[in-house]
Structure 1
């Protein structure tokens, strides 16, 4: 275990950056075989979620007038352009928006809702009789969500005592595996941030705040140069994976999203949602990471703003197959990935089989029972 922690495999995405006027590389090899698309994306760029005690930019009214955690103009722009990219990719498959063909779900966070709205504005501009205002080439599209305290899929914040007990154990385990070098960095961070830093998740909090401030053009304090970005990133990248560290946590935190996608693909293959073509999910980095880990990907990663996982259901010779693509940010070309324990493309029945364990979770039972899994 210690070797695993020390040799952190931060996922390096060797991809081609594209301009706002350039579309993704073609990812649909055979449009005629495409049956259904499911896209899970992270929200766009946002303001910091919190400040550290000695943060020179913690004056919220001065530096972050829209509020903590809110989508920035850059985030709106990126997600709008991402919508245009998806439109270019799928315009043959989904010529225009219709309620019968498109379903949009979002976590109940402002930044996720706004990101979905921006993306939809780029992906589905009104056409023909959809145009209701000649001065505004935009149409309202419904975005569905449930309150955070009831969400078990996109931002799993529904009450779950067993999950948080498991998470506490994981953080305790990791703290015992910290090296003298790690502890030295935590001591350094504690000194300069003005608050006690003792864990990978507290390190992530500092890394995230510095990243957001840097991207918004603020000059970071001199002390950050000794730890930011690489040294801090090495520890910070571990934190999101602590939510799916063991099998029971994968079932609780990642299983519901896997279950949702596999279920919709099965429904389509069995003819129960004949008109449906796209499920769009607007969520968070932890949602993407948890889905990856629930599918048994082993890498640590920190998805950038607008990162997307794309699942395509294809039908060939009366059999159904699933393709999976990943883009690390809103401005990176997606590439096809091989689902662990499957082939490319992955037969739907095989995907159903290899995900059976994480999909079979009963949230209430798992969350409130105490037996080992």
Structure 2
């Protein structure tokens, strides 16, 4: 692992941000749906990471495959981003890409039988975010935000990587999908549902006895992304951050310069997240991109991250709590139920959560390991629960895009469960407390 990443991991999140101040640029629509859609904007070319060469990571590379390892794998939870997709919006007044329907054709090997339900097995809830995409059509005839063939293949490959580790190498999972063993949840958006389907196809190679249940929930109660649609307090905080971003001088100056270089009139609404979203989507699918972006690419990447960092503002605990607190609480609850043997599904071994870049970024911030790089398509954040064979003590190991992470506050890559809980204690929120805070209109008191 690079020295830059190692030194980052050794710092707390707040001390890192004190040295790397995050800016923002511009404000999206004031409506909750438009704000939610803006925060889905995405995509990053893969940034390679070397494996950390300390003793903990060396032992973790063989712990699951070596029967003599002191650690026994008990539970896996994978939070992953959807695959490559059509852009949410096109950069205005530049050469347009043709987003034709053939870019969305599903590969045969990604096909499985599946059913989408609510969290209790009932009918699939309404999907207002997805409905908002269907109100617009991109040049070429497709809708914004749709998973492409490239994206489907990316999730299939992620499924194959998980298969190699958890089925072929460790025999942790059965080779055939079993709903008693595997839980699949997705945001109620077509691209994440299809991403979950493709991952399962790669993981189990289309081996299933019954349709795979993919669970979703209504927009108002979604916790797999920062919910500006359903949390009033978060909407207030988030809207303020977006509005404030347009006044930050460095972002504003760079935005004015790139608008001029692209020939975009000053009255056109554009920001670095929008530009990045369209740019990366085009690059990923081999579609024409304005030549001027070649010289602006690194600046676009940096400013997009600066924007989202400013919006989430991890140095303000209440904001990050409302973004990911309920999700972190569920992840920890799943761990506790396995450790204490209190789960209603005692055979469950794998939780799959199909989500967004705007899920992964605040999670990485809360863990103290956000590296100031936008999560690539199909990025995965994996939480493994292990039990020491001799002491029976529980440990959590976290990896991101296949590389183990040292969480600040943890004594090793294999983090004792109590240390892991303490590291996240400032951000986790029970569903009851989350609802109470969301319904309030006053900011949380600082710790």
Same fold by TM (over 0.5)? yes
User: Contact 1:53–1:193 (CA<8 Å) still a contact in 2?
Assistant: no
Q: How does 1:300-319 map to 2 (within 5 A)?
A: 300-316=372-388, 317-319=391-393
Q: In the alignment, which residue of structure 1 is the partner of 2:336?
A: 266
Q: 1:2 Cα deviation (Å)?
A: 8.7
For 1:20-56, what per-residue CA distance to the aligned partner results, in whole angstroms no more than 9, with x for missing partners? xxxxxx8451356000000011001101111122132
The structure-2 alpha-carbon separation of the partners of 1:77 and 1:355, relative to structure 1 and needing over 3 Å to count, comes to same
Within the alignment, does 1:296 sit opposite 2:376 as a pair?
no
**Which one of the candidate residues 248, 251, 261 is aligned to 2:321?**
251
Q: In the alignment, which residue of structure 1 is the partner of 2:91?
A: 52
Distance 2:92 2:266 in 1: 10
TM-score by length of structure 1 reads 0.83
Q: 1:304 Cα deviation (Å)?
A: 0.4
Q: In the alignment, which residue of structure 2 is the partner of 1:22?
A: none
The structure-2 alpha-carbon separation of the partners of 1:358 and 1:292, relative to structure 1 and needing over 3 Å to count, comes to same
Structure 2: 5+ residue stretches without partners: 1-16, 25-43, 51-59, 101-137
The structure-2 alpha-carbon separation of the partners of 1:365 and 1:193, relative to structure 1 and needing over 3 Å to count, comes to farther
Distance 1:52 1:347 in 2: 47
Distance 2:267 2:82 in 1: 27
TM-score by length of structure 2 reads 0.70
Distance 1:342 1:225 in 2: 41
**Which one of the candidate residues 427, 435, 444 is aligned to 1:364?**
435
Q: 1:186 Cα deviation (Å)?
A: 1.3
Distance 2:349 2:179 in 1: 10
The structure-2 alpha-carbon separation of the partners of 1:126 and 1:218, relative to structure 1 and needing over 3 Å to count, comes to closer
The structure-2 alpha-carbon separation of the partners of 1:198 and 1:360, relative to structure 1 and needing over 3 Å to count, comes to farther
**Which one of the candidate residues 343, 350, 353 is aligned to 2:422?**
353
For 1:118-173, what per-residue CA distance to the aligned partner results, in whole angstroms no more than 9, with x for missing partners? 0101111355xx56xxxxxxx63111111223212346344222212222333455
Within the alignment, does 1:114 sit opposite 2:182 as a pair?
no
For 1:86-134, what per-residue CA distance to the aligned partner results, in whole angstroms no more than 9, with x for missing partners? 111101000232111110000111110000000101111355xx56xxx
The structure-2 alpha-carbon separation of the partners of 1:302 and 1:371, relative to structure 1 and needing over 3 Å to count, comes to closer
Distance 2:231 2:20 in 1: 28
Quote the RMSD (CA, aligned, Å): 3.0
Distance 2:62 2:140 in 1: 40
Q: 1:184 Cα deviation (Å)?
A: 3.3
User: Contact 2:80–2:381 (CA<8 Å) still a contact in 1?
Assistant: yes
Q: In the alignment, which residue of structure 2 is the partner of 1:135?
A: none
The structure-2 alpha-carbon separation of the partners of 1:299 and 1:318, relative to structure 1 and needing over 3 Å to count, comes to same
Structure 1: 5+ residue stretches without partners: 17-25, 132-138, 328-333
